[in-house]
Amino acid sequence: MKLDLSVAGLDKVRKHIAVLSSDQLNQACAKALTDIAFQTRKAMQEEMRAVFDRPTPYVVSSVIVRPATPDRLEANVLPTYGGGKGIDPQQILAAQAGGGARRDKRSESALRRVGLLPAGYQTAIPEQPYPGSDDGRGNLRGPFIVRLLSYLQAFGEQGYRANMTARRRAKLEARGVTAEGYRTIAGVAFFVAIPGRARTRHLAPGIWAKSGTGGVVLKPVLMFVRAGTYSRRLDMARVARTAIPPGRLEARLRYRIRQAAGV
């Protein structure tokens, strides 16, 4: 993000500027620009906390400052991606800033690849999250979604070793039979209710957990909902324009120049 700022009001420090070398002056300017960038970053993070519902620290802290240097008198405020398995914050923020269709999550792509998530659908956590599944911020916990995808054999060829074996599934389900001959699930078994499928048409589309005698205890785990779109909620350009009060840059420049001059 680039801010165009005009600088005036430096007459009060003209005598200090005169005694500084060009390197010292550039250093002072770089520090002042970096000060403003950090102030802008703080305003952006406050805006994200205000417009998002329980934003994750991962997204909020992704906005960083690239400081100015004496050789590059430009400070940048931008979201960055540190790599790894998380979704690129730049994609998340771009969708919120520009609106439009939400891109599939990696778990959704995996479910779609094995034919469990129908075209035109994405996933959503139920209003009452399945115990141990969510992080308290409206997102599935990483270990839980890995276990779920593993159980459903949703990992591709490169990750097939992560798919749960029949023996491991049996251990997780802990199926048995009562003295009366009723089948029981002492653990938990997951299954998918796909729209239009006769056996599960009485259930909302999604992934369900069943347990108890005859598997009659049902709990929703992950719902299949029609793919949604984002409305424009985040205007970072507006935040950047309003984050810096008039005269703030000049004030920081005067401070940094006096600091460089030792006064």
Residue entry with tokens 């005694």: 19
- How high is the pLDDT of residue 249? 87
Segment 31-54 mean pLDDT: 87
Pick 147 or 102 by higher pLDDT: 147
Distance CA 182, CA 163 (A): 29
Amino acid identity for residue 99 in this structure: G
Q: Burial-class residue 127 by CB neighbours within 10 Å (0-12, 13-18, 19+).
A: exposed
- Pull the structure tokens for residue 151: 């159980």
**151-193, pLDDT tens digit by residue?**
999 987 665 578 999 999 999 999 998 888 889 999 999 999 9
Q: Residue 191: which region, alpha, beta or left (left: phi > 0; alpha: psi -120 to 50)?
A: beta
Contact in structure between 90 and 103 (CB atoms under 8 Å) = no
Contact in structure between 243 and 40 (CB atoms under 8 Å) = yes
3-state secondary structure of 91: helix
- How high is the pLDDT of residue 219? 96
Does the pTM surpass 0.75? The reply is no
Pick 262 or 92 by higher pLDDT: 262
Distance CA 49, CA 43 (A): 10
Share of the chain above pLDDT 90, in %: 41
Distance CA 173, CA 182 (A): 15
- How high is the pLDDT of residue 245? 84
Distances (CA, A) of 122 to 102, 202, 214: 9, 20, 30
Calculate the average pLDDT of the chain: 83
- Pull the structure tokens for residue 25: 């002056």
- Segment (H or E) for 43: helix 22-51
Distance CA 26, CA 72 (A): 9
- In the chain, domain spans: 11-100+231-261, 118-226
- How high is the pLDDT of residue 4? 44
- How high is the pLDDT of residue 34? 94
**φ, ψ at 86 (rounded to 5°):** -75, 160
Segment 138-158 mean pLDDT: 87
- Segment (H or E) for 29: helix 22-51
Amino acid identity for residue 246 in this structure: P
